[in-house]
A and B are shown apart, each in its own frame.
Chain A
Amino acid sequence: MKIHKFELDGDYFVVDPGSGAVHIADRQAFELLDKVKPSIFERYSGIEGGCYAELYDLYKSGLLFSGDDCRDFAETSVDAPLKALCLHVSHDCNLDCEYCFAHENVSERLTMSPETACAAIDMIVERSGERRELEADFFGGEPLMAWETVTAAVDYARANEEKWGKHFRFTITTNGLLLDDEKIAYINREMSNCVLSLDGRRSVNDRVRPTKSGTGSFDLVADKFRRLIQTRDKPGFTDCYVRGTFTAYNLDFAEDVAELARLGFRNVSLEPVTSTPGSGGDYAITQAHIPQIYDEYERLFRLMKSGGVDVNFFHFNVDLSGGACVIRRLRGCGCGNEYLAVAPTGELYPCHRFVGDSKWVMGNVSHKNLDKEIKQYFTKTHIYSKSDCADCWARFYCSGGCNASSYECFGDARKTDSAGVECLMMKKRLECAIALSCLRVV
């Protein structure tokens, strides 16, 4: 029954979380919403015209102070067929990024064999039920260090997908060091999505993303990324993001988004660094940084609103008129249920961030059995089973956030902290995203 309202640069926005409705108000309506509530609307209904009558009309139409009637969908949900895999084809990497989490639970830098990758393809086909569209994401470490495994899995799937009645969409996430013209051509032919890791300005990138010898990586990869994007013209293969990380070292990260745009990268994702509380280095983002991060998101909002930065910034995208159905929004990524990660050994985990943690092993691609208890646990992990989500205005936008992050922070995948840095940043990004989307419409 709660609404969320916020002001940004003199515009007033109202979100009705229960229905999903979004409104732009004038100041009078915005302030009146502090005073009215459902009990008042029920008591005073006959006022003709004016601001109150407009709000009353929205209330009666189910677009203000609406109840949340989606809980039943979550509580009656059943486990789903598998539709996506994250293949850790290499736990080795040729960069030495300061903030990398990939080796937290991994002591050996193994490479997945082509046979294991193909067995993973077989497994998702067998466990996907009636679903036709399947996804496999090549991740690491650095997946180009296991190129033979990548191409073996892709070629195997392509050779058999028609016979299986399936279609695979592949994604690769790469630091770019090993890219060459042959790999670029293959990626642009086979990978419907491509994620290119670069943190923005040269100085920012090179501070946290050095090579093994300690030199910066920016100049080694930026031109390769441009070449990949410029030759990426296959119809339907439009997804290609330069994806960076911002840390406490570059809280002026709007400059990095602007620099990536200036370099010609139109699709940019720049995300806050993840770190386990108490274990992060100087790069870690803490509560003390939140005011500056809010200011910076607002600065980026203004740059995009004015056209000063012409970029498709991933975190400021929100589809207000369509988008995912509410069933999907109840649990977001679907990890441990319809999405699994595969370690180089073939071990299965709920997602890439659980890989290497023995408590979360769900099986192996070479076995037929999958841990039903863990799968069921994640089937029942949704916005209503998380500690701080059921009443949060953002629940149908973020779907309760990242389960692995909750587990790392609190030791419990179902615990969330609405006042924690992740939730605070998420809500700020959402406000900017909603505001931008609204201003494009009206």
Chain B
Amino acid sequence: MNTKNHIKTVTGKTLKQTAEKGGCGKCRASCQSACKTSCTVANQPCEANQENA
């Protein structure tokens, strides 16, 4: 079923897919506390993806 009227998927990319080539450590460090420019890691870009783009 491709067309849906009641629910639209905004992102269907699964986390498991990201594990296959993940863990390279190229991404920047982030701080999870409130005292630096903290963020959720979910707004960290994947730098390996950016290199390959």
CB closest residue in chain A, given B38: A271
Q: Is A288 an interface residue (CB 8 A)?
A: no
How many A residues touch the partner, as a band? 35 or more
Known A169-B28, A328-B27, A329-B41; contact A54-B6, beta-carbon cutoff 8 A: yes
Q: Which residues of B contact A227 (CB under 8 A)?
A: none
Chain B 24-53 interface mask (CB, 8 Å, partner A; 1/0) = 011111111111111111111111010000
For the complex, give the distance between the alpha carbons of A220 and B15 in Å. Answer: 46
Which stretch, A199-207, A210-218, A294-302, A398-406, touches the partner chain B?
A398-406
**In contact, A326 and B43 (Cβ under 8 angstroms):** no
Distance in angstroms from A60 CB to nearest chain B CB is 9
For the complex, give the distance between the alpha carbons of A402 and B41 in Å. Answer: 11
**In contact, B6 and A25 (Cβ under 8 angstroms):** yes
**Contact residue among B4, B5, B11, B47 (Cβ-Cβ distance under 8 Å from A20):** B11
**Contact residue among B12, B25, B33, B34 (Cβ-Cβ distance under 8 Å from A61):** B12
**In contact, A23 and B8 (Cβ under 8 angstroms):** yes
Known A326-B19, A328-B22; contact A397-B34, beta-carbon cutoff 8 A: no
**In contact, A54 and B1 (Cβ under 8 angstroms):** yes
**Contact residue among B5, B10, B22, B32 (Cβ-Cβ distance under 8 Å from A332):** B32
**Contact residue among B1, B6, B37, B44 (Cβ-Cβ distance under 8 Å from A241):** B37
**Contact residue among A24, A66, A101 (Cβ-Cβ distance under 8 Å from B8):** A24
**In contact, A23 and B10 (Cβ under 8 angstroms):** yes
Distance in angstroms from B31 CB to nearest chain A CB is 6
**In contact, B19 and A317 (Cβ under 8 angstroms):** no
Which of B5, B9, B15, B43: most chain A Cβ within 10 A?
B15
Chain B contact residue count (CB 8 A cutoff): 43
Q: Is A73 an interface residue (CB 8 A)?
A: yes
**In contact, A22 and B11 (Cβ under 8 angstroms):** yes
**In contact, B23 and A397 (Cβ under 8 angstroms):** no
**Contact residue among B5, B29, B39 (Cβ-Cβ distance under 8 Å from A135):** B29
Known A53-B1, A327-B19, A338-B25; contact A269-B14, beta-carbon cutoff 8 A: no
CB closest residue in chain B, given A17: B15
Q: Which residues of A contact B11 (CB under 8 A)?
A: 20-22, 320-321
**In contact, B7 and A332 (Cβ under 8 angstroms):** no
For the complex, give the distance between the alpha carbons of A64 and B3 in Å. Answer: 17
**In contact, A326 and B15 (Cβ under 8 angstroms):** yes
Q: Is A94 an interface residue (CB 8 A)?
A: no
**In contact, B46 and A324 (Cβ under 8 angstroms):** yes
Q: Which residues of B contact A28 (CB under 8 A)?
A: 6
Chain A 82-104 interface mask (CB, 8 Å, partner B; 1/0) = 01100000000000000001000
Q: Is A261 an interface residue (CB 8 A)?
A: no
**In contact, B41 and A399 (Cβ under 8 angstroms):** yes
**In contact, A324 and B14 (Cβ under 8 angstroms):** no
Q: Is A69 an interface residue (CB 8 A)?
A: yes
Q: Which residues of B contact A20 (CB under 8 A)?
A: 11, 13-15, 18
**Contact residue among A173, A314, A438 (Cβ-Cβ distance under 8 Å from B10):** A438
Which of A21, A272, A323, A334: most chain B Cβ within 10 A?
A323
CB closest residue in chain A, given B39: A314
- Residue positions of B touching A, CB distance < 8 A: 1, 4-16, 18-19, 21-23, 25-47, 49
* 13 A-B pairs (CB sep. < 8 Å): A55-B6, A62-B14, A73-B23, A84-B29, A241-B37, A272-B34, A325-B18, A325-B23, A326-B19, A329-B15, A398-B41, A399-B41, A433-B40
